[in-house]
Structure 1
Amino acid sequence: MDGQKPTNGNTAPKDCKEPATNDESNAVPVADLNNDLQEADEAIKRLNELGLGENISSEEFLTYIDQLNEQPIIDTSIELDDAQVTTLYFQHARYRLRYYKHLSQQPNTELVEDSYHMKLVGEDELSDEFIREMEFFMRFEEDGTFDWYFYPDYCWLAALNDYQRLVPINCVGEEYAYWDDYHGYFNSYHTELQYLDYCKALSKELKWMEDYVLNKLPSSKWGRICSRGAYQAIKIATRFSKITAALAYNAYYHMRFYVAYCKDMDSLYFEIWQRVNMQKKSFRDSLEEVYNLNKFPSRQDKMKDALENNCSHMETVFHVCTASVTSEIAEDKALELIAKAVESRMNKAKFYEQYIEKKIDIARAIGLISTDGTEAT
């Protein structure tokens, strides 16, 4: 059973929105606009010549869109009665105990050892009386022992199963970018599993986009490349029976966010750091040297713009991302620290793909999904 309901309160990662294109402040001279359009045409021509991506027409795109399944709607008007909900609560309590035992077997996991928790040691067959005494093990969800729960409102909905009721918690700092939407999709296990396969296909088949990232947004070139990628993403989605247009766009947007804002920035700053800290060169000289090496095609435009105009902003970001890296630190460790700093600065919240991976791990641990990959009844 899949479905979707409207939700509010979404939060998106900082810096993930591209600049608007209809603001007067973005107006450009006609000559620059013509150059921009010509550059876009040349980029698409070059992609066609190299066989990168697919040259899909608008008509073909609409044909592919029509082939995708529509999002099923869950009937949220039918609720379980009190007796059914009580039965469900006992089942959920047993799932919680399974997960507690799963955690206790994990290395480097420290659990509270008070009287409440010690009562669970050795307990396998649980009576209803014991579950009531332990208050259905709700404490695990409330005291932070678990990073998931059965969403209370969903426990009353007759159309859902327990996999759909299971929701990873959105931790401090908005761990998941659109958490409200993710748990409100009501997608089935099989749909979410297929979504992961679709994301892998996008990552592989749209890899060509990584070398065509533009950092001077907006531009006709970047817009045309994004459209080319989106059209291909929809075509790829037609190979997946459970992927809707909305899910296809979700996956494509999340992949594009990484390409546009995160790819290669850690390695780029690492190269500059080596020259600034080891060779005692200035930031600008180091940047120019790395630019001339052409090691990061996806960031050449960004470096060129900084060198030709003002590199002070890029230098400030560089110092922020390398603040914890000293000359005594080994190079592999330095790159790791810079990568973490880049990710942290981008406030890179996790997307639906990571949400699903977490949810499936939990579902397997508590027995909602059997070893052969089928949903438990």
Structure 2
Amino acid sequence: MLHEKPVQHGPPGFHEDGTSRPWTGEKRRRKCLPPSSSDSPTTAQDHPDLISHDATDMEDIIQRGQDHKLWVPGEDERWGPEVDISEEDAISYIERLAPDDPDDLYPRCMMTYAEFEDVRERIARYRIAYYKKVAKPESARELKGPEKYSRDELWKEKYFEHLEDDESFEGYFLREHSMLHDLDDYQRLVVSYTAHGSPGSKFLFWEDYCARYHTYDMDDVYVKYYQELSKRIKWLEGYWNFNGKSEEWEKMNVRAWRQALKIALSFPKMTLRLVSFAFDEYIWELKSDVSAKDLDLVYFEIWRLVAKQNRSFKKALEEVYAMDKFHSQKHRMAAELEGALFIWSMEDMTEEHEARTLFRNIVYKHKHMNMAEYARQKMEIAALMGLAPRFQDQE
């Protein structure tokens, strides 16, 4: 039964079988339960579609998002664990959100050869503009301004596609998207390292994001909403426990979800799908942050005892476990003491500040990028290319 689905422990759209299929956030929210609640009618795991919020005419989608009346929070507006929004009010918030776009909003209509050449020329000029701003000055000076190249020159230079191979180039254009008639140039742009699998944070749902053709306007409102959501429901992290089954967590999770719906009313073009994804993404990040809290310090204390005081690894782990700190990592240390031990090797002469930095990097370098972070970086790249305005933070 839908209401018996287990609580979601993975990121939005994560399945136990290892696949990732983001949900759509349809009318399952009518009961006003949070996406991450074990009592939710469904979770991200049940819906094969990601957020759909693009239009063949960008002005249409912008106008449609502006048609609903925005709610402006007052100075005395309260948020937190003591603020309990009723189910009836939460339903009314849902009804006031901007409508979700249909899944078939973008027919895969291919453009003519002449249209494709126009797109390639525009993209070539974006590449030049971006490269001149981010590459080494001596390299950038070799290029003329983007508008000073003729069509023949762009063609002879193969539209400057080679610039995307430069290490300073963080964005590139998907060729398959460049051939679709109904997309704008922002929708054709992607962030490079996420696609190529380079080291660093990665956006788990990059392929789904690209498949849904996000517009600049929807990325813009999503990032600003996520910033506000992260501030307003930060209180929720104090209620998370590592099994996620406490009644208090379930109650506060519902409370935070309804507050998330209310927060969304002050943002134009926010749809139920976007609110749902943002909430699930925030919960996943909250759990990840709590899980990683102080872990680098635990590693450092164990290393210090082993490298500087000649303790055995197990003895050092026992001593750190007995300390009256690192409470968020007690469960992890207990598991290590009872099972297989994790082992790393470091030179005894390693400086302490180097060890601290190393362990901090070990803990945090594999943290996944969320959609708000990805979208913000994409908008910044687009602004440098001259194809979109510079992003302005939510005040």
Give me the TM-score of the superposition, normalised by structure 2: 0.66
Could you say if the C-alpha distance between residues 134 and 184 of structure 1 is closer, same or farther in structure 2, counting changes exceeding 3 Å? Answer: same
Superposition pairs of residues 152-171 of structure 1, within 5 angstroms: 152-169=175-192, 170-171=195-196
Residue 287 of structure 1 is matched in structure 2 by 321
1:255-310 alpha-carbon deviations (Å, 9 max, x no partner): 21222123373524415633662475632332232xx34x65xx2xx626865xx5
Q: 1:262 aligns with which of 245, 265, 289?
A: 289
Q: Which moved more, 1:224-233 or 1:198-207?
A: 224-233
Q: How many residues align?
A: 307
CA distance in 1, matches of 2:287, 2:81: 18
The answer on 1:359 being equivalent to 2:393 is no
The answer on 1:121 being equivalent to 2:148 is no
8 Å contact kept, 1:90–1:131: yes
Residue 115 of structure 1 is matched in structure 2 by none
How far apart are residue 134 of structure 1 and its match? 0.8
How far apart are residue 340 of structure 1 and its match? 1.9
Residue 84 of structure 1 is matched in structure 2 by 115
8 Å contact kept, 1:266–1:338: no
8 Å contact kept, 1:306–1:314: no
CA distance in 1, matches of 2:291, 2:279: 19
Q: 1:135 aligns with which of 148, 158, 169?
A: 158
Could you say if the C-alpha distance between residues 303 and 171 of structure 1 is closer, same or farther in structure 2, counting changes exceeding 3 Å? Answer: same
Q: Which moved more, 1:83-92 or 1:65-74?
A: 65-74
SS of 2:190's partner is strand
How far apart are residue 354 of structure 1 and its match? 1.7
Could you say if the C-alpha distance between residues 236 and 314 of structure 1 is closer, same or farther in structure 2, counting changes exceeding 3 Å? Answer: farther
Residue 232 of structure 2 is matched in structure 1 by 205
Residue 180 of structure 1 is matched in structure 2 by 207
Residue 35 of structure 1 is matched in structure 2 by none
- Amino acid aligned to 1:100: Y
- Amino acid aligned to 1:329: E
The answer on 1:342 being equivalent to 2:363 is yes
Unaligned runs of 5+ in 2: 1-17, 22-35, 40-78
- Amino acid aligned to 2:89: E
8 Å contact kept, 2:185–2:387: yes
The answer on 1:54 being equivalent to 2:83 is yes
CA distance in 2, matches of 1:91, 1:246: 32
CA distance in 1, matches of 2:270, 2:114: 36
CA distance in 2, matches of 1:335, 1:87: 52
8 Å contact kept, 1:148–1:166: yes
Could you say if the C-alpha distance between residues 253 and 368 of structure 1 is closer, same or farther in structure 2, counting changes exceeding 3 Å? Answer: same
Residue 4 of structure 1 is matched in structure 2 by none
Could you say if the C-alpha distance between residues 288 and 359 of structure 1 is closer, same or farther in structure 2, counting changes exceeding 3 Å? Answer: same
Give me the TM-score of the superposition, normalised by structure 1: 0.69
CA distance in 2, matches of 1:357, 1:325: 40
Could you say if the C-alpha distance between residues 324 and 248 of structure 1 is closer, same or farther in structure 2, counting changes exceeding 3 Å? Answer: farther
How far apart are residue 93 of structure 1 and its match? 1.0
Residue 69 of structure 1 is matched in structure 2 by 98
- Amino acid aligned to 1:337: L
How far apart are residue 126 of structure 1 and its match? 0.8
How far apart are residue 67 of structure 1 and its match? 1.7
How far apart are residue 199 of structure 1 and its match? 1.2
How far apart are residue 366 of structure 1 and its match? 0.9
- Amino acid aligned to 2:253: C
The answer on 1:368 being equivalent to 2:387 is yes
Could you say if the C-alpha distance between residues 276 and 69 of structure 1 is closer, same or farther in structure 2, counting changes exceeding 3 Å? Answer: same
Could you say if the C-alpha distance between residues 142 and 122 of structure 1 is closer, same or farther in structure 2, counting changes exceeding 3 Å? Answer: closer
Percent identity at matched positions? Answer: 23
8 Å contact kept, 1:277–1:327: no
Residue 312 of structure 1 is matched in structure 2 by 337
1:139-190 alpha-carbon deviations (Å, 9 max, x no partner): 2346766342222232233332211221223131682110012223333323
8 Å contact kept, 2:111–2:180: yes
Could you say if the C-alpha distance between residues 313 and 329 of structure 1 is closer, same or farther in structure 2, counting changes exceeding 3 Å? Answer: farther
**Higher relative contact order (Cα pairs below 8 Å, separated by 6+ residues):** 1
8 Å contact kept, 1:53–1:206: no
8 Å contact kept, 1:19–1:217: no
Could you say if the C-alpha distance between residues 366 and 210 of structure 1 is closer, same or farther in structure 2, counting changes exceeding 3 Å? Answer: same
The answer on 1:94 being equivalent to 2:125 is yes
8 Å contact kept, 1:68–1:244: yes
Could you say if the C-alpha distance between residues 230 and 19 of structure 1 is closer, same or farther in structure 2, counting changes exceeding 3 Å? Answer: closer
Unaligned runs of 5+ in 1: 1-8, 13-17, 22-49, 112-117
Superposition pairs of residues 139-154 of structure 1, within 5 angstroms: 139-141=162-164, 146-154=169-177
Residue 41 of structure 1 is matched in structure 2 by none
SS of 1:149's partner is strand
How far apart are residue 128 of structure 1 and its match? 1.5
CA distance in 1, matches of 2:97, 2:143: 50
SS of 2:172's partner is strand
